[in-house]
Amino acid sequence: MAEPDHAPTRIHLTFDLPPKAAADLAASGHPTTSTADVDGSKEDRRQALVAAAPGASAIIATVSDLVDAEVMDAAGPGLRVIANYGVGYDNIDVAAAHDRGIVVTNTPGVLDEATADLAFALLLAGARRVVEADRFVRSGAEWSWEPDFFVGLDVSAGATLGIVGLGRIGFAVARRAAAFGMRIVATGSRASSSEAAALGVTPVELPELLATSDVVTLHCPLTPETHHLIGAPQFAAMKSSALLVNTSRGAVVDEDALLEALLEGTIGGAALDVYEHEPRVTAGLLALPNVITAPHIGSAGIATRERMGAVAVENALAVLGGATAPNPV
Ligand code: 8YV
Across the chain, what does the average pLDDT equal? Answer: 96
CATH class of 11-110+302-320: alpha beta
The pLDDT assigned to 2 comes to 44
The pLDDT assigned to 295 comes to 98
Do 11-110+302-320 and 112-293 share a fold? yes
| Ligand 1 site, residue 88, Cβ cutoff 6 A | yes
> Where exactly are the structural domains of the chain?
11-110+302-320, 112-293
Q: What is the mean pLDDT of residues 99-127?
A: 98
pLDDT of 8 higher than 60: no
pLDDT digits (tens, 9 = 90+) for 228-260: 999 999 999 999 999 999 999 999 999 999 999
Q: Ligand 1: which atom is nearest the Cα of residue 89? A: 6
| Ligand 1 site, residue 63, Cβ cutoff 6 A | yes
Q: What is the mean pLDDT of residues 119-130?
A: 98
Residue 201 bridge partners (DSSP): 184
The pLDDT assigned to 158 comes to 87
The pLDDT assigned to 183 comes to 98
Q: How far is the CA of 254 from the centre of ligand 1 (A)?
A: 20
The pLDDT assigned to 1 comes to 41
The pLDDT assigned to 40 comes to 86
What's the rounded Cα separation, in Å, for the pair 279 and 42?
9
Q: What is the mean pLDDT of residues 301-312?
A: 98
Q: Ligand 1: which atom is nearest the Cα of residue 61? A: 13
pLDDT digits (tens, 9 = 90+) for 140-192: 999 999 999 999 999 998 899 999 999 999 999 999 999 999 999 999 999 99
| Ligand 1 site, residue 250, Cβ cutoff 6 A | no
Q: How far is the CA of 242 from the centre of ligand 1 (A)?
A: 26
| Ligand 1 site, residue 86, Cβ cutoff 6 A | yes
Q: Ligand 1: which atom is nearest the Cα of residue 86? A: 4
Q: How far is the CA of 310 from the centre of ligand 1 (A)?
A: 14
The pLDDT assigned to 39 comes to 86
The pLDDT assigned to 4 comes to 41
Q: Which residues are catalytic?
A: 249, 278, 296
Share of the chain above pLDDT 90, in %: 95
Question: Over the chain, what HEC string results?
Answer: CCCCCCCCCCEEECCCCCHHHHHHHHHCCCCEEECCCCCCCHHHHHHHHHHHCCCCCEEEECCCCCECHHHHHHHCCCCCEEEECCCCCCCECHHHHHHCCCEEECCCCCCHHHHHHHHHHHHHHHHCCHHHHHHHHHCCCCCCCCCCCCCCCCCCCCCEEEEECCCHHHHHHHHHHHHCCCEEEEECHHHHCHHHHHCCEEECCHHHHHHHCCEEEECCCCCCCCCCCECHHHHHHCCCCCEEEECCCHHHECHHHHHHHHHHCCCCEEEECCCCECCECCCCHHHCCCEEECCCCCCCCHHHHHHHHHHHHHHHHHHHCCCCCCCEC
User: Could you give phi then psi for residue 169, rounded to 5 degrees?
Assistant: -75, -40
| Ligand 1 site, residue 114, Cβ cutoff 6 A | no
Q: What is the mean pLDDT of residues 18-45?
A: 95
The pLDDT assigned to 7 comes to 46
The pLDDT assigned to 276 comes to 98
Per CATH, the architecture of 112-293 is what? 3-Layer(aba) Sandwich (3.40)
Judging by beta carbons within 10 Å of its beta carbon (0-12, 13-18, 19+), is residue 54 exposed, middle or buried?
Answer: middle
Atom 13, ligand 1: residue with shortest CA distance: 62
Q: How far is the CA of 87 from the centre of ligand 1 (A)?
A: 6
Q: Which amino acid is at 188?
A: G
